[in-house]
Amino acid sequence: MGRAVRLFRLFLAEQSEPELFYRELAANSVSQLARYADLSGRMVLDLGGGPGHFTAAFRDRGARCLLVEPDPNELRAGGEPPAGAVRGDGMALPVADGGVDVCFSSNVLEHVPDPAAMLAEMIRVTRPGGVIYVAFTNWYSPWGGHEMAPWHYLGARYAERRYIRRTGRPPKNKPGTGLFPVHVGPTLRGVRARADVVVLAAQPRYYPRWCRLVLRVPGLREVVTWNLMLVLRKAAAHGPAGHCHDAVVAQSDRGPVTVTPDSTSS
């Protein structure tokens, strides 16, 4: 419970102290993932990681990390992008099949028009036996409308119009362009129906682990989950699983590149 309280307090300070919030969230998320995967020496893909808070947390754990971010402004929000950063689309990841040991995404799924395609891509680039971590803010949660919350409960268009009237500017997360409704039930059914992954964990991300029981209650789970965390293991191929090598072949704006922890492409 103490973890949940601390994260909530940090969340309240996101606008005033974003660096503190994202640094702490990154460390906490990587600790969650470390329960399911040995990170030391492993190749991790950080999908949509912005300026690299999560990438830094993975490297602190001894992982080798490839940051893939579609928005050049987000990528450079903290100055120079982290080493190993590549611009790329989450629905068409610039990485070969089975190229990483772990594929990680925090609060990106609700920002793509085809969440199922992004999940499929995360699974594709993960090696057999590897782990996929994805967490997202579900639409009917109190923060589902992001900066427009809680008025998204009255509809996305109404929430957007109200935000513009109140602030005089459009929201950063514009409905239908930068923000899309993603729901708990359909996402759970989608991953459970796949033959190529096993669900290791499904629970509200910010709550104590026993709160995962709420996911059994349709309707209620859409509102109280706030943020859903899924940890999946890709079905292992025949033979030893092993782990990925020191370099990943990725596609950058300049064509194919070999990305290592000491190289940058953006």
Pair 108, 118: CB distance under 8 Å: yes
Q: What is the DSSP letter of 89?
A: B
Residues 91 and 72: beta-carbon distance below 8 Å = no
If you average pLDDT over residues 167-184, what whole number do you get?
A: 97
pLDDT of residue 224: 95
The conformation of residue 129, written as its DSSP 8-state character, comes to E
Domains in the chain with CATH codes: 2-138+182-238 (3.40.50.150)
pLDDT of residue 240: 54
Indicate if the pLDDT at residue 20 is higher than 90. Answer: no
For the entire predicted model, the pTM comes to 0.88
Res. 204: pLDDT tops 60:
yes
Reported as a pLDDT band with limits 50, 70 and 90, residue 26 is very high
The pair of structure tokens assigned to 104 is 């990680």
Tell me what pLDDT residue 214 has.
Answer: 97
- Which residue shows structure tokens 């104590």? 208
Q: How many Cα neighbours within 13 Å face the side chain of 147?
A: 18
pLDDT value of position 242: 66
Nearest to 133 by CA among 51, 40, 201, 64: 201
What pLDDT score was predicted for residue 261?
47
What pLDDT was estimated at residue 76?
Answer: 87
Q: When comparing pLDDT for 122 and 12, which is higher?
A: 122
pLDDT of residue 14: 64
Interval 240-249: pLDDT, tens: 556 775 555 5
pLDDT tens-digit readout, 111-166: 999 999 999 999 999 999 999 999 999 999 999 999 999 999 999 999 999 999 99
Q: What is the pLDDT of residue 12?
A: 66
Residue 158 — left, alpha, or beta (φ > 0 → left; ψ -120 to 50 → alpha)? alpha
Q: Which two tokens stand for residue 187?
A: 């996402």
Please say if the pLDDT value at position 70 is more than 90. Answer: yes
Contact predicate 74/104, CB 8 Å:
no
When pLDDT is cut at 50, 70 and 90, the band that residue 266 belongs to is: very low
Closest CA to 108 of 46, 189, 201, 17: 46
Tell me how many degrees the CA angle 134-58-49 measures, rounded to the nearest 5.
Answer: 50
Taking residues 77-86, report their average pLDDT: 85
Task: Name the band, by pLDDT with cuts 50, 70 and 90, for residue 16.
Answer: low
Strand partners, 133: 104, 231
Q: What one-character DSSP code corresponds to residue 258?
A: E
Q: What is the pLDDT of residue 40?
A: 97
Higher pLDDT, 21 or 207: 207
Query: Could you tell me which residue, 1 or 109, shows the higher pLDDT?
Result: 109
pLDDT: which is higher, 257 or 41: 41
Give the per-residue pLDDT at 147. Answer: 95
